[in-house]
Structure 1
Amino acid sequence: MTGLNPRPELRAAGAAARPQLWGVLNVTPDSFSDGGRFVDPEAALAQGRRLIAEGASVIDVGGESTRPGAEPVAPEVERERVLPVVAALAAEGIRVSIDTMNASTAAAAVEAGAAIVNDVSGGLADPAMLDTVAQLGTPYVLMHWRGPSETWHTVSDYTWAPQDVTNELLGRWHAALEAGVQPERLWVDPGLGFAKRAEHNWQLLAELGTLRSIGARVLLGASRKRFLGALLPDDAAVEERDLLTAVISALAAGHVDALRVHDVRSSARALDVWQSIAAGAAQTPVFGGSYTASPPAEAATRGDRPASDRITLTGLRAFAHHGVFDHERRDGQEFVIDVTAHLDLRGAAAYDELASTVHYGELAEQVVAAVETDPVDLIETVAERVAGVVLRHGAVWQTEVTVHKPQAPITVPFADVSVSIVRGRS
């Protein structure tokens, strides 16, 4: 199994050196976890500040409870609850995610300052959501969803939950792309607790690496879920699940890009432990022979990633119709692309497995296809598009892209003109 194995050489390639923590902020009167403590905007703002101080990088604001049996909330009521809080948090420079299934709420929240749309239905609850998110241009979290809670007892059968969930999320991922959502903006969430029995949740946690095959960043929300409560005495308060959540945060850290939690402090401390272990493991030689520790400055910039592991493709040639002049759009010209993908190749080398690296033949085809579609004015735009294609591969944490335009309409003799960019996972 690949999911919760703590050995770093078996870690799913491409996960962040330290996952982000998204602090949960429910502004509902019927939340299962906080009992409506933050319905008042001032109380919600104070809680958001507290979560940031404890280590959250994103505050995930929700105005509709998704607990089993919760009553649906009209979008206009949801907006009344969330918009003042979103605006207040954003005004203080806090990065906000809006947790909603309604396209109208997503659009209003982004206008109010939200930077991310987190949709537990993966675009299935509101047919307008995918088109709306494409127009908004924000990051978008697709969660695995099989319908509202009243239907879960009829749709919670799985052949093998990790693969079934991955396949269904991949379908939603393609739907989002077809709607115009940029691939580099997509996240996936396995939807622990949603139409899943306890054994399905544990299977998903044990095989988190399976989600990496989609090529999107992964958000995990295990915090205070009912399947964790089953490990505690019947009379245990819901807050007692925070310790169990923190354990999952540490064990899952190598396989996800963000963890959505109610108690940020405990998960932050758990990640401190995980990161310290990972740093120690990075100083241990995988193979026999001599070993030289990385200089402290270098180690500080790269987390537990090797500083120089990379795959490089140079001289990829594509024919496309990009340019600001009419004749460039009409006649087309050749573009030459160089790509460097930074990734951790230790697992691939140790176990001789393609799944831990990037198939460079497929990557080359994807880059050329990205260049040859949809004419644009600037090669800067082409370079950004190529970077998105490279970062779609879960193993890659940073890429350098150079787009050459050897036939550029320049009136003086020249050898080459090019644009180079460096992009990484946020």
Structure 2
Amino acid sequence: MNKQAHDRLGENVYQTTLANGLKVILVPKVGFHKTFAVMTTDYGSTDNEFVPRGQQKPVRFPDGIAHFLEHKLFEKKDHDAFDLFGQYGASANAFTSFTQTSYLFATTSHLRENLDILLDFVQDPYFTAQTVNKEKGIIGQEIQMYDDDPGWQSYFGMIGQLYPREPLHIDIAGTVDSIDKITADDLYAAYNTFYHPSNMSLVVVGQLEPEETLSWITANQAGKTFAPAEPIQRIPSAQTPATEIVPTTTRHLTVNRPKVSIGLRGYDQVPAGKAGLAYSDAISLAMDLLFNDSSDNYLRLYDANVIDDSFGYDFQVQRGAHFGQLAGDTDQPESFVSELTAILNDGPAQLLAAREQFDLVKREAIGRTIGAINSVEAIANQYDGSLFGGTTLFDELAVLEAMTFADVQAAWAQFSDASRQTVYTILP
């Protein structure tokens, strides 16, 4: 087991890969009572076309199958995994993103028993036609709930205009029609392809002894038989050229105030490994300089009632895509769009004008990261798997500390381009 010491923080990260390919990351937190574990597969909603394990030709699976599979794994022939966690005092959950599916629990006791439950239910699928059909009604209600959520519609409307050709624009849960096509055989095909230990990681953070915890995990895995690892063959979708990004759309929904989302799409490939993490952090710092609540831009637009406390911004890097978003409720949607796009289009000059704020913004980001290191959930959930070369929250702190204003300028120049913007407006 490899030990990475972060002496200044008094923290250690232990990493190893088991014989079956499962990546294990252990972070003991001295003085903590809670332990948090998350088991993740590199498989999400955008992975809807691939060559199933044991087959030769690619298959296009129904949208929402990764999320559907997440729901169904908890249910077994004679029990539900949630009940087992409850017997040992743990709270459990799961979530599906564009590129990952994660299963997790938090506990203050019985760590070994809860780890066994997590590993066993994720690695023991049980699907039948009857149970699959029952789940369609449950997930269908969830989809309809999000169909009525203006914030959700604004977010996916913006993504849909940036990525009209790619599966990224499809709701993670799919549609009522798409999930109706899912069969038990489909779920087994997806499971057998993406849930091999070699495509998964297990992160455990909190009250634990590394050697002892690893011995429990190793013993659990040694009692199971897995097929040999095989390369996963994902079929990439056609990429939307910049000329096909939808520039603007206006929708009418049951809202009290207009809701606007501005999207920015990056086309250049994000650097691999830790350099990709540095790129992501640099863009986030650039957006802080331009739009955080102490910036000149924010204060000016707030005083003019163009934006309010609902305004926010975000930058995401996913496998194969990266994009930014500015969004908020406003009584002046036209001014909201014109003012914010003007700032984006004048990005280099705007950044230069905010240069005196760089050290403050950087220290704030470092402070947030140090604060997150006191959260077992944040440490576990921010493990990026293969996206940034297996870096952790502790690596991000070092990246931020080394960041310069020139790094932020260079990253923003690479990312920002007026031809890659879109506007999605929801009106009452």
TM interval, shorter chain, is under 0.3
> Could you state the TM-score of these two structures normalised by the residue count of structure 2?
0.23
Q: Which has the higher contact order (CA 8 A, sep 6+)?
A: 2
Query: TM-score normalized by structure 1?
Result: 0.24
